[in-house]
């Protein structure tokens, strides 16, 4: 529990715990894990991502690319303008989801003002934000850019530009399946009430249930250890494909830690990737304190890419963050690039973003393009 936990926090956590408990009782003793995760993170007003903007960043529970400093947003802004110019567009929409406290938007818009004022009135910044609470935080931070930012519930139809999110997809509820080697079948992890609080349960997968299964050859199933855990996020896949359908032309960009489907089946990773974070530390029991810690899992990039392709996007390019950012950085070294000087501060931030032991290797960037409507001004 946070060292700085207050009575207000305790009351909030009690409300989230109470909601989860009620649902479990109403459901007859167990709820699917994705529902537990949804309540823990997004219970209106009380969930982990609902109650304070300060959860992310230096004083919060974990760092993101955005909390490292402004250079992340500046490099993205430079890249997005390069794409728009190469496509021959004279206007573009940048649609960000998972904007949290609006910091990335603010970094990108401030860079345009400073370095590319010729695009100032030609970039429409759209924040996809279903939560009124978070919209409030974002409006506060983006006050200096009022009039240039709009808010929507979902990616609007007909977007021409870039739809993107930093650590968006890893914040969607996940499905967790376990392998029962004796019965040669997958089961679904659920959450029930044990003697000590919330506890894992096993839910049978009824034939025809709308729960995705990994596609594995029989020879692999023969050697898969009992209790092996596989994860994916149908909610994130739905979000990506809905956004892909809404995009009229341009790019979708997801920056997240994640794996390909094959990498989920690496020996040594038998317990899945779900984890909890609080105060920059791993939390062992992810069920212990719904609403009090961040819950997150690696994105299954293979399934996300496939969902995008079914929605009309092209094949994805998946690179480590260090490669993605280094390629952009290389081109910004040219003074004619308009990026601005590589000051010491920028260089230090860049090193953190690309160092393999910091964020450079664990984060990956998936880009999928929809090549429609280019050169139509």
Per CB under 6 A, which of residues 22..61 are in contact with ligand SAM? 49, 56
| Overall residue count recorded for the chain in this entry | 377
Task: Give the span between the Cα atoms of 174 and 299, in whole angstroms.
Answer: 9
Using rule CB under 6 A, residue 166 touches ligand SAM:
yes
d(CA 287, CA 295): 9
Query: Is the CB of 98 or the CB of 192 nearer to ligand SAM?
Result: 98
C-alpha closest to that of 230 among 277, 283, 288, 298: 298
Interatomic CA distance for residues 218 and 291, integer angstroms: 39
Q: Where are the alpha helices (DSSP H) in 247-317?
A: 261-264, 301-310
Binding residue count for ligand SAM, defined by CB under 6 A: 19
Residue nearest to ligand SAM (CB): 98
How many C-beta atoms surround the C-beta of residue 323 within 10 A? 14
Among 97, 162, 203, 318, binds ligand SAM (CB under 6 A): 97
CB of 225 to ligand SAM, least distance (A): 31
Residue 128 in the binding site for ligand SAM (CB under 6 A):
yes
48: left (phi over 0), alpha (psi -120 to 50) or beta: alpha
* Minimum distance, C-beta of residue 197 to ligand SAM, in the bound complex (Å): 25
Q: Which is nearer to ligand SAM, 238 or 331 (CB)?
A: 238
Question: Minimal CA–CA distance to 134: which of 106, 110, 102?
Answer: 102
Distance of CA 131 to the CA centre of its chain: 16
What is the Cα–Cα distance from 48 to 102, expressed in whole angstroms?
Answer: 17
Q: Does 307 bind ligand SAM (CB under 6 A)?
A: no
The tokens of 162 are what? 């870039």
Question: Which of 32, 34, 73, 98 is in the footprint of ligand SAM by CB under 6 A?
Answer: 98
Closer residue to ligand SAM (CB): 134 or 188: 134
Binding mask 201-240 for ligand SAM (x = CB under 6 A): --------------------------------------x-
Q: Looking at 24, 142, 168, 304, which residue binds ligand SAM (CB under 6 A)?
A: 168
d(CA 350, CA 325): 8
List the structure tokens of 114.
């400073």
SS3 151: strand
In 3D space, the residue among 65, 73, 70 whose CA is nearest the CA of residue 345 turns out to be 70
271: DSSP letter: S
Residue whose token pair is 């009782």? 25
Residues 99-118 as x/- pattern, contact with ligand SAM by CB under 6 A: -x---x--------------
CB of 47 to ligand SAM, least distance (A): 9
Nearer to ligand SAM, 239 or 264 (CB): 239
For residue 96, list its beta bridge partners.
127, 164
- The answer to whether residue 66 forms part of the interface with ligand SAM (CB under 6 A) is yes
Cα dihedral sign, 236-237-238-241: positive
CB of 40 to ligand SAM, least distance (A): 12
Quote the least distance from Cβ 15 to ligand SAM, whole Å: 18
C-beta of 98 vs 272, nearer to ligand SAM:
98
Interface stretch with ligand SAM, choices 168-176, 240-248, 324-332, 334-342 (CB under 6 A): 168-176
What span, in angstroms and rounded, lies between the C-alpha atoms of 81 and 345?
23
Instruction: Choose the binding region for ligand SAM from 128-136, 143-151, 196-204, 317-325 (rule: CB under 6 A).
Output: 128-136
**Which region, judged by CB under 6 A, interacts with ligand SAM, from 96-104, 275-283, 303-311, 315-323?**
96-104
- Footprint on this chain of ligand SAM (rule: CB under 6 A): 49, 56, 64, 66-67, 97-98, 100, 104, 128-130, 134, 166-168, 171-172, 239
């Amino acid at each position: 529990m946070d060292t700085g936990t207050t009575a207000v926090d305790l009351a909030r956590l009690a409300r989230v715990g109470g909601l989860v408990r009620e649902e479990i009782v109403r459901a007859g003793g167990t709820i699917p894990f994705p529902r537990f995760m949804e309540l823990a993170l997004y219970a209106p007003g009380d969930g982990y991502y609902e109650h304070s903007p300060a959860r992310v960043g230096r004083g919060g529970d974990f760092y993101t690319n955005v909390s490292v400093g402004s250079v992340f947003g500046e490099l993205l802004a430079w890249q997005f303008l390069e794409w728009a110019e190469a496509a021959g567009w004279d206007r573009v929409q940048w649609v960000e989801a998972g904007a949290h406290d609006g910091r990335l938007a603010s970094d990108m818009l401030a860079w345009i003002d400073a370095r590319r004022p010729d695009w100032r009135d030609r970039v429409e910044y759209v924040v996809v934000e279903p939560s009124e609470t978070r919209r409030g935080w974002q409006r506060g931070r983006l006050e200096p850019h009022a009039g240039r930012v709009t808010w929507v519930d979902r990616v609007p139809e007909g977007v021409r530009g870039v739809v993107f999110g930093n650590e968006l997809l890893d914040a969607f509820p996940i499905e967790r399946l376990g392998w029962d080697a004796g019965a040669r079948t997958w089961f679904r992890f659920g959450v029930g009430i044990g003697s000590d609080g919330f506890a894992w349960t096993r839910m049978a997968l009824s034939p025809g249930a709308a729960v995705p299964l990994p596609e594995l050859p029989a020879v692999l199933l023969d050697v898969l250890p009992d209790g092996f855990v596989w994860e994916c996020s149908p909610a994130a896949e739905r979000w990506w494909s809905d956004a892909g359908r809404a995009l009229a032309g341009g790019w979708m960009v997801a920056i997240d830690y994640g794996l390909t489907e094959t990498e989920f089946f690496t020996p040594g990773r038998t317990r899945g990737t779900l984890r909890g974070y609080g105060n920059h530390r791993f939390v062992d029991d992810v069920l212990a304190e719904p609403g009090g810690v961040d819950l997150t899992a690696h994105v299954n990039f293979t399934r996300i890419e496939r969902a995008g392709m079914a929605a009309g996007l092209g094949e994805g390019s998946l690179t480590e963050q260090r490669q993605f950012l280094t390629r952009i950085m290389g081109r910004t070294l040219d003074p004619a690039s308009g990026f601005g000087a590589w000051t010491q501060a920028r260089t230090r931030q860049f090193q953190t973003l690309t160092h393999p032991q910091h964020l450079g290797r664990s984060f990956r960037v998936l880009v999928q393009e929809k090549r429609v409507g280019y050169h139509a001004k």
